Structures are given as C-alpha cells and as structure tokens.
Amino acid sequence: MFASKKFVCLSLMVSIVSGCGVTPKSLTVEEVAEFALTDISKIYKSQEELPKLLTLSDAMARALKYNLDNRVKLMEQSVASKSIDMAEHDMWPKLGLSAGYLDRSNIDASQSRNIYTDQLNFTHSTSQQRARENADIRFTWNILDFGVSYLQARQNAEKYLISQKTREKVMLKLLQQVRSAYWRAVVMQRMSKEVDAILKRVDVSLADLNAVREKQLYTPLFALNDIRSLVQTKKELEDMKESIVIANVELATLINVPARTVLNLETPKNFEVVPKVPNNINEMELTALLNSSEYASEIYNVHIEQIETHKALLRLLPGIEFSYAGNYSSNSYLFNNLWGEAGVRLAGDLLKLLTVPDTLEYGEITHNLAVSRRLAVNTAVVAGVHLAWQNYTNAVNRLEQSKFLTKIDNEIAALTRNAQQNRSGSEVEAIQNEFKAFGSEMGHLLAYTKMQDSFGTFLVSLGSSPVPQDYQNLTVTELSKILSSKYRYWENGQLEIVKLEDIKKRIAERLEREENKSIVRKVVEDPVTILPDLTNSIDAHKQEVKDVLQQKDAPQALGYLQSEKTKPEVQSIDAKKSSEKTSQPEAAKVKTVEKTQQPKAADNKVSATTTKTVESSK
C-alpha cells in the first residue's frame, strides 16, 4: 500500500517538474504597439501648458521639471536613499517562525546496550509518534552580522551622496544644453524670413539665367559661372533652413514637448549683451573644486574604499550569536510539549586570519587607487575652469570681429544695391553680395550663440547651480522667475566666487575647534600622546595654585579657582585693596573686600568662608 502511494507521489512530482519547462516568448507587434501608445501618453501627461512666448528661463524651468533624463536621475537618487533604509534593516535581529507536520512510514524505534555488561537493556522502544506537529519561534542576533550591516549602511549613505552629486551634475549639463539649443533656435528663427526671401530671389534669378542661356543672349561661360554661384548660394541657404528645423527639434526634446511643436521663442532686440566674468583665476579654481560633483564623488569613494577594507577585516573575525527560541511539539511521549531554550555560539574560520596581511595590502591598494582618481579629477576640474574661461574670452573676441565684418558686408551690399538700381550692376552680383551680408550677419549671430554657449560652459565648470533645493514643489512660472533672477545676477559679474582668505580662516577655525575638543575624547582617541601633556598641564596648574596661596592672598586664590568670568572682578578687588593700603587698617581692609566682592549666587558660601579665613589669619 505504501509502495503504491510512493509511486503515485513520485509520478506526480515528475509530471509537475516536466510541466515547469520555460520556453522563450517574444513580444508581438500588437504588444509593442500597445506599450508605445501607452508610453507616449505618459510622457507628456500632467505638464503645464506651453506659453505663447517661450523665454530662456521658461525653457530651463520646463527642462528641469519634465525632462525624462532628469527624472531618471531623480528616481535613482530615491533608490539610493531607500537602500540606506534597507541596509539598516539588516542590522536588526532575526525573528524566525516555523511550523510543520511530520509523518513517518514506520515507527522510529531503537534499542540500547549496557556498556559494562555488553547486554541489551530492553527490547525495541520509541519516544516519537509516527505523526506529529512541530512549531518554533526563534530570536537570533549575530554581532558580526550587525557590524557588517552597519558598515554597509555607511557605504550606502556615501553612495546616496554620490547619487545626489551626480544628479546635480546632470541638472547643470541639462541647463547648459538648453541654453545652447535655445540660442541656436533663436538665431535660426530670426533669420528664417530672410532665408526664405533670398531663396525666392535666387530661384527667380536662376530661371532668368537659364532663359538667357537658352536664347544665347549672354556669353555661355559667364552664364554658367553665374548659375553655379547661385546654385551654391541656394545650397547654403537650404542647409541653413534645415538647421532651423533641427534646432527647434533639439529644444523641443530637451523641454519634453512633441518634436513637431513649433516654438515661439523670445528674440532680443539686439545681440550685444555680453556677460561679465571675473579674472581671479585662483579663487575660481577653488570655487570649482568646492562645487564639483565629480571631485566630491571621488572623496566619497575614498571613504567607501576605507569602509570596504574595514568590512573585509571584520568578516575575518569569529561571529558571536545570541539566540532564544520557544518550541512546541505534539509528540505525546514528551513530558513537556512546550519549552524554551537560550544559547550563545561562537563560530568562525580561524584559517581566514591568515589572509589578514593580504586583506590589508588589498585595502591599501584600493585606497591608493581611489586617492589617485581624486587627484586626477582635481586636475581635470582645474583645467576645465582654465579652458572654459579662455574659450569664453576667445568667443567674446570673435563676436567683436564678426560684428565689424557684418558692418563692412552690409555697406558693400548697400553699394551693390544702389548700383543695380542705377543699372550699372548685375542681379547675380547683387544677390551674391546680399548673401555675403546675410552670411556675415548670420555669422555674427552664431558668434553670439557661441559666446552664450561658452558662458554656460564656464558656469558649469565652476559648478554654479541656480536650481533651488525644492524646485520640484514649484510651478514652472515660479521656477522660471528664480532662474531668470539668478542668471541676471551672474551675467552682471556677481558670480558666487569663494574668497581664498575666507576659506583659510574657516579651515583654521575648524582646526581650532578640533583642538578644543573635550579632554575625555582626546584621551580616548590618542591616550599615548595626550596623557603626558595632560599630566604636565595639571602639575603646572598645581604649582601655580601653591604659589598664589603662599602669598597669603585669599581673594586672589579665589579668583584663580573660579571661572574666567569672575576673574575681572577679583582683579578689581586687588586694585582697590592696593589703593587703600596706606589709609585703612587691616580690619577695614577686610570689610572693603567683603563689600566690593560680589560673586555669583552659587559662590556666596565660598566667598563668605574665604573672608572669615582672612579675618582669622589677620
């Protein structure tokens, strides 16, 4: 009977396992399309309406609020923050609960043998039922696991800070991309009408030249040269027109609106405003290092490598585990079906202690590697500031040159236009000169765009962030006003550059605070160095007290033993005493001390006792 049951169970298990085979299943076109349509609806959902006239600060605000890459980094930061909580949960003790049912196929019976007579004591006996129920709840806490989990939580905290810095870097780069795309789109939008007008003139002139060529009213070589010039001009104009569409699409993607959306951008009346930048390069280097997310991340990575070495060393130690359990069994042969048990266990692999030197060496290598990366990033950040500052200076110079060249080409185009009106110049020459003037003006505007791009790159190299901490809680309009105000402040040359002297002063104050830590903490941290200095200091104070008391001047001794706040009062008493020595007797002198000395309420009893002592000694 039991054999048949066993066969049935085995057959059932085989059929279940065979039915659990996994076969790859690819997505169908309908499933992909469904995901695509759903995602498209989610991408532009819950966004504020696009304004009729989009400013630079509006575009930046919308990018910060709705750009998908920025949202991804925000979620990664949230995940890193949650990992800290998860690591803290690993530090908790473990509380396990288990329950089960056991049924043997036969009786668990056994015999015992007398070790002295080598005779069997009894016949076969059992102390367990064939079918029984078991349950237990167990509380365990491993100190080694707690220590490792604590260090892991510290590492996760450092990684969270790194993710925070990474997100700040992403936001700064996003603002820079929006600035660059916005100004290119503005330039292309402003020149689009002129591009269309010149294209129309080029098409008309090409048609006229082809007609003249067919009628052989013009020298064939000259006609072909003119046609070639106009075709080349048309090609360049069409390239500019394509750039207008591309700039619009790039900006639309950054601010997370459909790519086909036509953006109406705010165009300045003139492109002459040039932001001011400081020249104190040393302080700019320090500012960039203080604000650099890469540099801060490498500092955190050094901490992480140090903690990783501590974790590796901690895992080599034996672990101490405390446990307590409550148990239940339905076995009727047991005298107590419910019982509790407590225990402590020490377990570890002693051979792992042999790997301590290798672990320390590996930790030193990884630490040195992290430090080398930090130094490399330091150099890169400083070099980035110099390059960005120089590129901005060069962009400003090129802007001035393009402005002068535009003025010359405009004058040439005006002279050519006048000559054509007087019928002393050709239409092709007029178009070419107007195209040159248009190209110079386009070059001037693009130079202005390059200057704005270089200024944004300079701000990124400094790590200057105009984004408030709570920007997620602000509307696009509110955030746009904050960004506009901040950038206007910076463009006037009022960048937030740290002062080298202020930083040195703050470092000195921090070092002084560390020196003024409590004596107990100093002794705990470095008893070998601190205790001898502490003993010498106490001996010096004792000798000073003895010297004061030997002078039999109790008020001065009292002033020495009291706090620093009461010392000026004691000194005033001594000055008054010295002025009254020649005119007052000893008793009056003591009374003067009693009247003039006004210690705190907590020291009244000490003062009175001291005065009595002076009187008795006199």
Q: What is the distance of C-alpha 300 from the center of its chain?
A: 10
CA-to-CA dists, residue 394 to 173, 391, 398, 459, angstroms: 22, 5, 6, 16
Backbone angles phi, psi at 464, to 5 degrees: -75, 120
Element (H, E) at 515: helix 500-515
Nearest to 452 by CA among 52, 185, 255, 239: 185
* Predicted local distance difference test score (pLDDT) of residue 605: 40
How far CA 125 is from CA of 42, 106, 128, 398, in Å, comes to 72, 13, 10, 104
CA distance 132 to 100: 9
Residue with the larger pLDDT of the pair 607 and 262: 262
CA distance 561 to 565: 11
Residue 56: both structure tokens together = 């630079």
Segment among 9-13, 193-197, 438-442 with least mean pLDDT: 9-13
CA–CA gap between residue 410 and residue 439 (Å, rounded) = 10
Here the tokens at position 412 are 């040439």
**For residues 490 and 459, is the Cβ–Cβ distance under 8 A?**
yes
**How confident is the model at residue 481, as a pLDDT?**
92
Q: Are 246 and 462 in contact (CB under 8 A)?
A: no
φ and ψ at residue 128, rounded to 5 degrees: -130, 145
pLDDT tier for residue 136 given thresholds of 50, 70 and 90 = very high
Q: Decide if 565 contacts 598 (C-beta within 8 A).
A: no
Q: Of 250, 585, 207, whose CA–CA distance to 428 is shortest?
A: 207
Strands (E), 14-130: 94-103, 109-110, 125-126
Q: What's the distance, Cα to Cα, between the start and end of the chain in Å?
A: 116
Per-residue DSSP letter, 137: E
Residue 1 CB-half CA count within 13 A? 2
Contact 195, 445 (CB under 8 A): no
Enclosing H/E stretch for 409 = helix 356-421
State the amino acid at position 125 in one-letter form.
S
Which is higher by pLDDT, 298 or 552? 298
Q: Where are the alpha helices (DSSP H) in 215-316?
A: 220-254, 281-291, 293-315
pLDDT bin (cut points 50, 70, 90) of residue 378 is very high
For residues 198 and 208, give the distance between their C-alpha atoms in angstroms, rounded to a whole number. 15
Task: Report how far Cα 339 is from the mean position of its chain's Cα atoms.
Answer: 53
Lowest mean pLDDT among 90-94, 238-242, 468-472: 238-242
Per-residue pLDDT at 238: 78
> Cα(483)–Cα(474) distance, rounded to whole angstroms?
12
pLDDT digits (tens, 9 = 90+) for 65-87: 888 887 777 777 777 777 777 77
Tokens describing residue 590: 């003591």
pLDDT digits (tens, 9 = 90+) for 589-605: 434 434 444 444 444 44
CA angle 349, 351, 356 (to 5 degrees): 105
CA 134 centroid distance within chain: 52
Mean pLDDT on 86-105? 84
Q: Is 273 exposed, middle or buried (0-12, 13-18, 19+ CB in 10 A)?
A: exposed
Cα–Cα distance for residue pair 440/585, rounded to 1 Å? 103
Position 365 scores a pLDDT of 92
Helix (H, G, I), strand (E, B) or coil at 347: strand
CA distance 126 to 6: 24
Count Cβ atoms below 10 Å from residue 569 Cβ, excluding itself. Answer: 16
Torsion (CA) 336, 338, 339, 345 in degrees, nearest 10:
130
* Pairwise CA distance, residues 203 & 265, whole Å: 29
* Neighbouring-strand partners of residue 448: none
Tens digits of residue pLDDT in 232-266: 877 877 777 777 778 888 888 888 888 888 888 88
pLDDT in tens, 309-368: 999 988 888 888 999 999 999 988 888 999 999 999 988 888 888 888 898 998 899 999
Q: In whole angstroms, how far apart are CA 371 and each of 363, 367, 507?
A: 12, 6, 21
Q: How far apart are CA 128 and CA 125, in angstroms?
A: 10
Burial letters 111-127, b for 16+ CB under 10 A, else e: eeeeeeeeeeeeeeeee
The pLDDT of residue 42 is above 50: yes
Count how many Cα atoms sit within 13 Å of the Cα of residue 275 in the half-sphere of its side chain: 26
Sheet holding 338-347, edge to edge: 94-103, 131-142, 319-329, 338-347
* Residue 239 token pair: 């390239």
Q: Which two tokens stand for residue 341?
A: 């048990």
| β 94-103/109-110 pair status | unpaired
For residues 8-21, average pLDDT: 63
Query: Looking at residue 426, what is its pLDDT?
Result: 59
Between 426 and 137, where is the model more confident? Answer: 137
Q: What is the mean pLDDT of residues 257-283?
A: 83
Quick check: 172 pLDDT over 60?
yes
pLDDT at 375: 92
